[in-house]
Each structure stands twice: as C-alpha cells, then as structure tokens.
Chain A
Amino acid sequence: MIGAGIFVLPGEAAGVAGPAAALSFLAGGIIALFTALSASELGTAMPKAGGSYYYVNHALGPAFGSIAGWSNWMGLAFASAFYAIGFGDYIVSWLPWADMMQLSALGFTLEPGQVGGLAAAALFIGVNYVGAKETGRLQNIIVLTLLGILAVFLSAGMFQADMNKMTPFAPNGMDAILPATALIFVSFLGFAKITTVAEEIKNPGRNLPLAVIGSVVIVTVIYVITMVILTSVAAQPLDELGKVAVVEVGRIALGSFGVVMLTFGGLLATASSANASILASSRINFAMGRDRLVSNWLNEIHDRFATPHRSIALTGVLILAFIAYGDIKVLAKAGAVLHLLVYGLLNIALIVMREAPDVNYDPDFRIPLYPWVPIFGAISSFALIAYMDPVEMGLGLGFVVLGLVWYALYARRKVDRQGVLNEQILKLSEPSAPEVLREEAPEPDPGFRVMVALAAPKSEKQLISIASALAKAKGGTVVAVHIVQVPDQTALQAGAASLERLDRSSQLLMEKAKKDAETFGVDIETHNILSHRRFAEIFDAAREQRADKVVVGWGAGSHGSRGRFENALDDLTGALPCDFIVFKDRGFEPSKILLPTAGGPDTDVGAEIVHAMEAEFDAEVTLLHVVRSEDERADGEAFLSKWASKNAFDAADKRVAVGEDAYGEIRRQAEGQTLVVLGATERGLLERLSEGSGVAELAESLEISVILAEQARPRSLKERLFGT
C-alpha cells in the first residue's frame, strides 16, 4: 500500500527541511523498519485481529493495553482525517468552482479542502458501514495503478531533474530533518495495518513478515526517490507550490497528462488509505472488546450488512470531528504520535515475550540482532515524539492519561487477565500454579479408565453409552472430560476463576453425562479442562487421566468446524497414548453390528468394543472378511473362523465377501446393519482420516454410524522420521 503521505506532504516537508526532506523520509523508513521487524515476529507468533494493540495488551497487561488500544484507535482516526483532507485538497485542486466550497457558520470557517474531506470521509464511512464489497482484485488494481503512476512520473521526471536545485540541501540546517520526519511519519503507518488483519492472512508465518517488512522497504525507496525528483524538477521550492505540489511538478514533467494522472493518483492513494484506516480501527475495537477494554455493544455485527456498524459509526463521527478541526499538519502528526506510542510499546512487548520464561511463544519469524532491533525500535519511536510540536505531544500525553483513567475507572473491573509481564512478576512471588485445573484430582490407582471427550450436547449420550459399555465390561470407570477452549489472550487461571460464567453449558453437559452413565451402573468422574487448544488437549488429557481408552466424536459439530480434529490428529505424528475409539454419529443403534476384519492388532480393539456392546445391548454381530478373488475364498473362510474363535465370536454370523475393492465391499455389506466397527488393519488409520483415505471415504459415505478403533502405540524414531 502506497501511503497517501507522499501525495499530500512533500510541500509541507520541504517547508521544514528543504531538499533535505528526502532524508526525512529515509529516517522515517528506518524507524519504521525496526518496528516492522518486531511487529512481524509478534505477528507470526500471534496472528490475531488487532495487531499492535493485541501484542501490547498480551505482553504488558491491560493498563498498557488500554493506552495502546486508545492510541491505536485514535491514531487511526487522526490519520483517516488527515487522508480525507488530503483527498479534499486534491478534489479542490481539480474543481474550478472549488472556492465556493468554503463554508462559514457560527464563527467557524471550513476550508474547501475540509468540505471535500468531510464529504469524502462520510462516503468512506458509509461504504464501510454497509460493507460494500471490496475485492482483492480491486485492491491489487489500486496498488498497481499507483505504482504505475509513480513509475511513469518518476521516469519522466528523471530526464528533467536538475540536481542544482537540490542546493542548498538543508537551508534550515540538518537539525530540521527529524522534525520533518515527525511530520511525514504518517506516511509509514501502512505496515501496522497489515498486522491488524494478521488473522486473515494465508500462511502468516511466511507472508506476514514479507508483506510488513517488504512494504516498509519498498515505500521508503519510493518516497526518497520521489522527494528527490520532486525537488529537482520543480521550478521553485516545493513549499511554494501549494497543497498539491506533486500535481504541480507533474504538470512540469508531463504537462496536462501529468496533472490528470497525479490528481487521480492522489485521490486513489488518500481514499484507499482512509478506507484501510477505518477498517483497521474497527479491528482494534474488536480486539479491545475481546479483552473487555470496551463494551462489546460497540462491536456488535449488523444483522443485515454483517459489519461492525457501531464501531465504524463511532470512529466515523470522530473522524468527521477531526476533519472539522482541520489543521492537516497537526492531524498528520497526531496520527503519527499516537502510532509511535504504540510502536514503542510494541518493541517492549517483544522483549517481554522473548524474556518471559514458560510462556507459549513460538514465532515462525525471529528478528535478527535481538535485542538491538527492538531496543532501537522502542527508543527511536519514543524519540521521534520529541520532535513534534507541543500540541501533538500534549495530545499523545492526553491519550496516555485517558488510557490509564479508562483502565482505572472502566476496564480494571472488567478485564479477566493480566499481561505476560504481570504474570511473570506474580510467579516470582507465588509458587507455580498448575496450568490445567481440575474439579477432582485423579485417583492414585486409577484402574481401567475410559475417557470420553465431550464437546457438544448432541452426541453426549451416544459417546457416554459407548464408554459406559466398555467400562462396564471391565468393571472400570468412565471419565467424562469437557475441554473448554479459552481464548488465547485469557490466562488459564483467570479463566478458571470465571469458569461458571465462562461455560455454564459445560455443567449441564456434565450433569447429563453423569445421569446417562448411571443408567449403565458405571462410575463416572467428570473433569473440566481449560485449554487454549481444544483438540490437541484431548491427547494430553488422555495421558493425564491415565486413560486406557479414549472415546471421541468425529465430525462437524462435535469438535467445532470440520477439519480441526483431523488437524489435531496430524499433530500426533503417529504416536497414540492409548486406544482410541472415534465415533461418527449417525444415530446410536447398536443392534446389528458389522465388524470387518483382516486380522490386524487394531481389529482386536474393535473386537473388544463389539463384545462390550454385545453384552450391553444384545447386539447381533456379523463378521466380515474380504478376499480379492474366488480362489481365496476357502482360505478366507478358514481365517475368519480361526479369528472368530480366537476372539470369542463363535456365535457370530461369518461372511466372506469377494471383491477387489475392500472398502466398496464393506459398504455393500453394511446394508441392513446399524453400526460398523472399523479397526485399523494397518497403523495410522486415524491419521489417514485427514488425508481422505479409503477408510475416511468409507466412514463418510456410509449412512449408519461408524466406530473407528485404533490401538495405542508408541512411535519409534525410525517411524517418526520415515512415517511408516
């Protein structure tokens, strides 16, 4: 994204630093680059909506979070107001009757640029309020058009550049360079907006640093070259060319074509920057609401437009007010000051995350030269604030105070977590608290334990029935576990304190589970486990609970959206802590069970389940063995009767089916049955569910419920490496 700053601020910057303003842009780029590196690392570690604000709140706690949130939000509003006035100025430069747009009332005077800005801002806010669709293609077209316009302008300008115009290089002294940087720093805010939408980026581990760091480097180069060309082509100093100096230089370089092209470029850049800032501010609001720093009323999604309409409207009102206030330089610097505050805190947040022991912090991208990059990033960000005027410094300070007052009066009572920093300090003064909190501790000698991972009320009864039948067969205990997923930014301890409020449905679920298990006359224990990772937690819980068997549901609705459970299975990398029984629920009716077997160890787990059901539900069992051709039928029959007697299925109906496609044959034989129990004949059955294997397809395509069973297995190093 090409910042609108380069279209709006060259004249103002040259007014401060002369031709040396090119160096001001370079300095701005360097300061931004340090923070961009830090933001990339934090972004890959925590790709969450809210970006910079989120990292600060997460690492430094809600008091700093409140400051960062307010600063980030207001910074974006100031920047939007700045872009909108820039847009207005471009409109005014282009409309012949623009002078008539000056409005005066009640002692206030609105300049034509402000009037244009107000109209434009109202339009952008309206567009975001109704959520008009902006596609990725349009976004690409805008960026490419802007790059094209600048490329044409810069190459045409190159031929007319007169380097003599660069002298005197620093008419106001080199001391004026950094104050000009303070003025133009608003041009470098684009990269931070990328992190506010980090959760939406595909493959953030790679793409986020690329986008963030790349955008800073590219725009810095473009800005510096543009400043040099502008200064060396213009007939007079840039600050004497009026509000749209870029267009005036375009007239010299390319005539009226240059005027049209650069006016269009200016409108496009200011509009897209304003638009992006409005969207980004609603993400900050959402992230603040998620952390209870603002009321969630503000973030409610519009029923029809599916937009966070209140957040956009409120930000919009602020933007309009800032435009009415109107001094474009103050707005640019106010936007920059507030962002610089956040950037400084962000760099500190990175140091805290890296230094805090036992914090789950695993960024895909790690910055080089740690800790120098964040240290310099923090110092340079805060230091640049010192080059602002008292007005903007006062504004910055005002929002720091507002953030703290807001935290003290409103947010402190509501937030339910502390930052990583506070937690580390707490840990120093207290003995370590357990990460996973239980209602009851597991007994010393647990005996035979069947763990059920419950997620939704829908399949609770079915899962408990299976587990109870298994436990009853061996005189064991059912352990019902409800894994409550806690948002990452909520500390587990804080979550436990408010467990009741957090998940009342969990209690209801457990009550039901208890009742259902009692109908089978088996003992049941219930545990709530708070975790940041719902799916992977099942495996940890199985180990913790010393479960012999784990029963879980599989399918949409049982563990959230489709696919997550499979992903969790992928993470297993082959090891299973205990026997796993995965139930695909299409109604639980264990009256006629089909048990295909090829004699692997995992069919034995299947056999165990089937025996339990036979005992509990008087199920009728059909054994199935599939052979490839008629020639093998006799062998198959011999195998099956041997297997049946070994596994105590002498009474069962035994079928040998012939078919090339074993899964297809099983599907045919499932006709008229009510439940299919698939044991894995090879290892890695559950893992292969995620790859669309034959078993997965079979389980998906059957119309009756399916139980997949796989035996516990440790994994050897060789298997780990070669995946067999």
Chain B
Amino acid sequence: MTEQTAPDTLLQRVIVPLASESDAQKTCQSLLPRIEDSHGEVIFLHVIEKGGGAPDKASVEQMETRAEVLFDKAEAAASARGIPAERRLVYGTDVVETILEAAQNESASSVAFTPRAGNRLVRWLSGDTALRLVTESSIPVIVFPESAEEPDS
C-alpha cells in the first residue's frame, strides 16, 4: 500500500446503513468520494425491522426484495469509484441497536450516514434514528452533510 494521500483510518472499513432508495442515493453521493480518497472499503447495511412477535410493518419478502434493489444501486455506485463494497442484510427489532451490533461484528472503523431531512413530526413518527445512532454508538459515527453537488449523470 503506497498511496499518496495519508489514509484516513476512520474511513478504512465503514458501515453504511441504508434506509431507502433515496437515502442510498444521497448517502452514496456524499460519502463515496471521501471513502475513495482515503482508500477505504464500505459495508452497506440494511436493517429489516421485525416486530418480534407482532406483525411487521410490511411483508418480509417485500422488504427483502427492496433491500436487494438498494444494495445493487449502492454497490454499483461504489464499484464505479473502485471502492470495495460488501452488503449485509440484517434483521432486528431495534434498527439502531441492530446497526451498531453489525458494526461491532464487522469490526468496522466507523459508522457513516447522511441524515434524512424531515420536520419534527416526521422525525418523531419515524423515530429519530440519526440522533440515537450518534448517542448510542460505541464506535465513531461520522455524519456526512448532504452533498451539494449535482450527481454525475
């Protein structure tokens, strides 16, 4: 490994949770250029929320199909920049706990995400995952602002 730029150790092996297609797109846009610069690798993660006894919000099969689409897009974006990427589909009753557990299992150097916009009501209704991720993590969490640049078409 003889790179010109000093690799940023925080971005060596990054867990990138993806919530939805639009989230995946935004996150990849703002995150991947930095990871490319520091020659890191990404592990895309998607959590399927389980009811743990109660019926789930939507069919698991439906959510799995959706996850595959997310992963395909994100991996395509990563491989376009030559970033090694893996995908992990995990299931859990608590999204934040599940993300952090996965990060631990993968011995990730950090968890990185782009917070989703939303007013207070939406945040409250969907559970403020961003805040909980930042406060409950035991490994570094990097919050990337939404990229201002237009995506390359």
Chain A residues within 8 Å of B, Cβ to Cβ: 48-50, 128, 130-140, 197, 199-200, 276, 279-280, 282-283, 286-287, 290, 299, 301, 303-308, 458, 555-557, 561-562, 587
- For the complex, what is the distance from the CA of A200 to the CA of B122, rounded to whole Å? 27
**Does B148 count as interface, using CB distance less than 8 angstroms?**
no
Interchain CB contact (< 8 A) of A305 among B22, B84, B126: B126
Listed by A's residue number, 28 A-B pairs whose Cβ atoms lie within 8 Å are: A48-B61, A49-B59, A49-B60, A50-B59, A130-B125, A130-B126, A134-B55, A135-B52, A135-B93, A136-B52, A138-B54, A139-B53, A200-B50, A200-B51, A200-B59, A282-B58, A286-B58, A286-B59, A286-B62, A290-B61, A299-B62, A304-B19, A306-B20, A308-B57, A308-B58, A557-B75, A557-B86, A561-B89
Interface pairs A-B: 6 shortest CB-CB: A136-B53, A49-B59, A136-B52, A139-B54, A131-B57, A303-B20
Which residues on A sit within 8 Å (CB–CB) of B50?
Answer: 200
Which residues on B sit within 8 Å (CB–CB) of A587?
Answer: 84
Which residues on A sit within 8 Å (CB–CB) of B93?
Answer: 135-136
Nearest CB to that of B53 among chain A residues? A136
Q: Determine how close the nearest CB of chain A comes to the CB of B132; give it in whole angstroms.
A: 13
- For the complex, what is the distance from the CA of A180 to the CA of B106, rounded to whole Å? 60
**Does B127 count as interface, using CB distance less than 8 angstroms?**
yes
Which residues on B sit within 8 Å (CB–CB) of A279?
Answer: 55
Proximity bits, B122-153, A CB within 8 Å = 1, else 0:
10011100000000000000000000000000
A135–B51 touching, CB < 8 Å? yes
B87–A556 touching, CB < 8 Å? yes
B20–A136 touching, CB < 8 Å? no
**Does B73 count as interface, using CB distance less than 8 angstroms?**
no
Interchain CB contact (< 8 A) of B75 among A136, A137, A287, A458: A458
B126–A131 touching, CB < 8 Å? yes
B126–A304 touching, CB < 8 Å? yes
B58–A306 touching, CB < 8 Å? yes
Proximity bits, B39-79, A CB within 8 Å = 1, else 0:
00000000001111111111111110010000100010001
Which residues on A sit within 8 Å (CB–CB) of B126?
Answer: 130-131, 304-305
B56–A200 touching, CB < 8 Å? yes
Looking at A133, A137, A280, A287, which has the most chain B CB atoms within 10 Å of its CB? A133
**Does B21 count as interface, using CB distance less than 8 angstroms?**
yes
Interchain CB contact (< 8 A) of B86 among A49, A131, A556: A556
**Does B101 count as interface, using CB distance less than 8 angstroms?**
no
Q: Determine how close the nearest CB of chain A comes to the CB of B51; give it in whole angstroms.
A: 6
Q: Determine how close the nearest CB of chain A comes to the CB of B17; give it in whole angstroms.
A: 13
- For the complex, what is the distance from the CA of A132 to the CA of B124, rounded to whole Å? 10
Which residues on B sit within 8 Å (CB–CB) of A134?
Answer: 51, 54-55
Given known contacts A138-B54, A561-B89, A562-B88, is B59 in contact with A304 (CB within 8 Å)? Answer: no
**Does B23 count as interface, using CB distance less than 8 angstroms?**
yes
Looking at B58, B93, B116, which has the most chain A CB atoms within 10 Å of its CB? B58
Interchain CB contact (< 8 A) of A136 among B22, B54, B118: B54
Which residues on B sit within 8 Å (CB–CB) of A136?
Answer: 51-54, 93
Proximity bits, B87-131, A CB within 8 Å = 1, else 0:
111000100000000000000000000001010001001110000
Nearest CB to that of A140 among chain B residues? B53
A305–B125 touching, CB < 8 Å? yes
> How many residue-residue contacts, CB under 8 A, span A and B?
101
- For the complex, what is the distance from the CA of A454 to the CA of B83, rounded to whole Å? 21
Given known contacts A200-B60, A306-B20, is B89 in contact with A132 (CB within 8 Å)? Answer: no
The majority secondary structure among interface residues of chain B is mixed
A458–B79 touching, CB < 8 Å? yes
Given known contacts A200-B60, A286-B62, A557-B86, is B23 in contact with A303 (CB within 8 Å)? Answer: yes
Q: Determine how close the nearest CB of chain A comes to the CB of B86; give it in whole angstroms.
A: 6
Q: Determine how close the nearest CB of chain B comes to the CB of A659; give it in whole angstroms.
A: 24
Which residues on B sit within 8 Å (CB–CB) of A50?
Answer: 59
Q: Determine how close the nearest CB of chain A comes to the CB of B72; give it in whole angstroms.
A: 9
16 more CB-based (< 8 A) A-B contacts, given A48-B61, A131-B126, A304-B122: A49-B59, A130-B126, A133-B49, A136-B54, A137-B53, A138-B54, A139-B51, A199-B61, A200-B60, A283-B59, A299-B62, A301-B20, A304-B19, A306-B49, A557-B71, A561-B89
- For the complex, what is the distance from the CA of A283 to the CA of B56, rounded to whole Å? 10
Nearest CB to that of A142 among chain B residues? B54
Interchain CB contact (< 8 A) of A276 among B52, B55, B63: B55
- For the complex, what is the distance from the CA of A49 to the CA of B55, rounded to whole Å? 11
B52–A301 touching, CB < 8 Å? no
- For the complex, what is the distance from the CA of A33 to the CA of B63, rounded to whole Å? 32
Interchain CB contact (< 8 A) of A304 among B20, B58, B61, B71: B20
Q: Determine how close the nearest CB of chain A comes to the CB of B26; give it in whole angstroms.
A: 11
- For the complex, what is the distance from the CA of A305 to the CA of B79, rounded to whole Å? 29
Which residues on A sit within 8 Å (CB–CB) of B53?
Answer: 135-137, 139-140
- For the complex, what is the distance from the CA of A279 to the CA of B71, rounded to whole Å? 27
- For the complex, what is the distance from the CA of A599 to the CA of B1, rounded to whole Å? 35
Nearest CB to that of A555 among chain B residues? B86
Interchain CB contact (< 8 A) of A303 among B21, B49, B55: B21
Which residues on A sit within 8 Å (CB–CB) of B87?
Answer: 556-557
Which residues on A sit within 8 Å (CB–CB) of B57?
Answer: 128, 131, 305-308
- For the complex, what is the distance from the CA of A555 to the CA of B85, rounded to whole Å? 12
Given known contacts A130-B125, A140-B53, is B58 in contact with A307 (CB within 8 Å)? Answer: yes
Which residues on B sit within 8 Å (CB–CB) of A276?
Answer: 55
Q: Determine how close the nearest CB of chain A comes to the CB of B120; give it in whole angstroms.
A: 14
Which residues on B sit within 8 Å (CB–CB) of A556?
Answer: 86-88
Which residues on A sit within 8 Å (CB–CB) of B63?
Answer: 301, 306
Which residues on A sit within 8 Å (CB–CB) of B61?
Answer: 48-49, 199, 286, 290
Which residues on B sit within 8 Å (CB–CB) of A197?
Answer: 55-56, 59
Which residues on A sit within 8 Å (CB–CB) of B71?
Answer: 557
- For the complex, what is the distance from the CA of A78 to the CA of B37, rounded to whole Å? 58
Nearest CB to that of B20 among chain A residues? A303
Which residues on B sit within 8 Å (CB–CB) of A562?
Answer: 88-89
Looking at A128, A276, A283, A299, which has the most chain B CB atoms within 10 Å of its CB? A283
- For the complex, what is the distance from the CA of A276 to the CA of B55, rounded to whole Å? 8
B22–A303 touching, CB < 8 Å? yes
- For the complex, what is the distance from the CA of A136 to the CA of B54, rounded to whole Å? 4
- For the complex, what is the distance from the CA of A78 to the CA of B61, rounded to whole Å? 26
Nearest CB to that of B62 among chain A residues? A286
Which residues on A sit within 8 Å (CB–CB) of B20?
Answer: 301, 303-304, 306
Nearest CB to that of A127 among chain B residues? B125
Which residues on A sit within 8 Å (CB–CB) of B79?
Answer: 458
- For the complex, what is the distance from the CA of A290 to the CA of B59, rounded to whole Å? 11
B19–A306 touching, CB < 8 Å? yes
Nearest CB to that of A275 among chain B residues? B55
Q: Determine how close the nearest CB of chain B comes to the CB of A306; give it in whole angstroms.
A: 6
- For the complex, what is the distance from the CA of A550 to the CA of B61, rounded to whole Å? 30
Which residues on B sit within 8 Å (CB–CB) of A286?
Answer: 58-59, 61-62
- For the complex, what is the distance from the CA of A199 to the CA of B64, rounded to whole Å? 12
- For the complex, what is the distance from the CA of A197 to the CA of B84, rounded to whole Å? 37
- For the complex, what is the distance from the CA of A160 to the CA of B57, rounded to whole Å? 44
Looking at B55, B63, B88, B126, which has the most chain A CB atoms within 10 Å of its CB? B55
Nearest CB to that of B19 among chain A residues? A306
Nearest CB to that of A48 among chain B residues? B61
Proximity bits, B1-44, A CB within 8 Å = 1, else 0:
00000000000000000011111000000000000000000000
- For the complex, what is the distance from the CA of A162 to the CA of B49, rounded to whole Å? 51
Nearest CB to that of B43 among chain A residues? A556
Q: Determine how close the nearest CB of chain B comes to the CB of A639; give it in whole angstroms.
A: 36
Which residues on B sit within 8 Å (CB–CB) of A199?
Answer: 59-61
A304–B52 touching, CB < 8 Å? no
Q: Determine how close the nearest CB of chain A comes to the CB of B129; give it in whole angstroms.
A: 11
B51–A308 touching, CB < 8 Å? no
A301–B55 touching, CB < 8 Å? no
- For the complex, what is the distance from the CA of A287 to the CA of B58, rounded to whole Å? 11
